[in-house]
Amino acid sequence: MSSYPHPVIAREGWLYLGLATAAALVVTAFGGWWSLPFWLVAVFVLQFFRDPARPVPAGERLVLSPADGRVIAIATTRDPYGEREALKISVFMNVFNVHSNRAPVDGTVERVTYFPGKFVNADLDKASEHNERNALLIRVADGSLVSCVQVAGLVARRILCYVQAGDRLARGQRFGFIRFGSRVDVYLPLSARPRVAIGEKVHATTSVLAELQPEGAKAHG
């Protein structure tokens, strides 16, 4: 996307990258090879906060992955944010994945709600209900509701969200960031057709999680 605001490195990472690089340079000046661990930390910070622009697949009904990672859940369950039965698809991010979060659909943000909570392993099912999280309810043009939930993980201690109720989101648009290992849960209408399998690796924006069906379509089988 040509208008992407923070190419290569997310703005959340510049302070950490600057501190890590400065520390490595100082230790290099006075300690030579003893600085190697500091440079490794700087490289880790660089890869963690990388935030590349991504091409957006064509298709208005496609639900794009909001995060890089691995699909860990595809199930029919209760959506506590949209208060309905829904198809839930969860993506787990480890510390080596890009942690920038992107909008899965075009739509209007109806509500943004933050929930304080625990910091258990985000790979566990109970993380969706018990961990710190931030939920976006997005209404698409045909009236369908999509809930996109940022969930903190075992070492994550900060969920960042840059949108609020009333904002318009475009598919692939950057809306937030989670620091250090976490997950994103997406709740879709029951009629949505999954396009991924459990265990599959996905990439934010470029990977398709599901396809929304016309109103009145039957639930996925």
- Look at residue 216 and tell me if it is in a domain: no
Residues 25 and 84 in one domain: no
Residues 32 and 75 in one domain: no
- Report whether pLDDT(66) > 50: yes
Mean pLDDT of 67-71: 93
d(CA 102, CA 115): 20
Mean pLDDT of 211-218: 73
Percent of the chain with pLDDT over 90: 48
Sequence-distant (≥ 6) Cβ neighbours of residue 24 within 8 angstroms: 35, 38, 39, 41, 42
**Both tokens of residue 85?**
């039965």
**Residue with the larger pLDDT of the pair 46 and 136:** 136
- Report whether pLDDT(20) > 80: yes
The predicted structure's pLDDT at residue 126: 65
Reduced to 3 states (helix: H, G, I; strand: E, B; else coil), residue 129 is helix
**Residue with the larger pLDDT of the pair 57 and 4:** 57
- Look at residue 176 and tell me if it is in a domain: yes
Residues 31 and 67 in one domain: no
Q: How confident is the model at residue 2 (pLDDT cuts 50, 70, 90)?
A: very low
Residues 37 and 100 in one domain: no
- Look at residue 1 and tell me if it is in a domain: no
Q: Tell me how many domains the chain contains.
A: 2
Return the beta strands (E) in 103-220 as ranges.
107-115, 133-139, 145-152, 159-161, 168-169, 174-178, 182-188, 193-194, 201-202, 208-211
Residues 83 and 190 in one domain: yes
Which structural domain, as residue segments, surrounds residue 71? 62-211
Residues 109 and 191 in one domain: yes
CB atoms closer than 10 angstroms to residue 41: 16
Residues 16 and 66 in one domain: no
Give the CATH number for residue 147: 2.70.70.10
Side-chain-facing half-sphere of 29: CA atoms under 13 Å: 6
Active site residue: 144, 182, 191, 207, which one?
Answer: 182
- Look at residue 4 and tell me if it is in a domain: no
Residues 75 and 102 in one domain: yes
- Look at residue 3 and tell me if it is in a domain: no
Residues 26 and 107 in one domain: no
Residues 179 and 85 in one domain: yes
Residues 87 and 146 in one domain: yes
- Report whether pLDDT(123) > 70: no
Residues 34 and 134 in one domain: no
Least confident of 20-29, 165-174, 176-185, 195-204: 176-185
- Look at residue 128 and tell me if it is in a domain: yes
- Look at residue 218 and tell me if it is in a domain: no
Mean pLDDT of the chain: 85
The predicted structure's pLDDT at residue 32: 81
Does residue 144 carry a catalytic annotation?
Answer: no
- Look at residue 220 and tell me if it is in a domain: no
Mean pLDDT of 131-136: 88
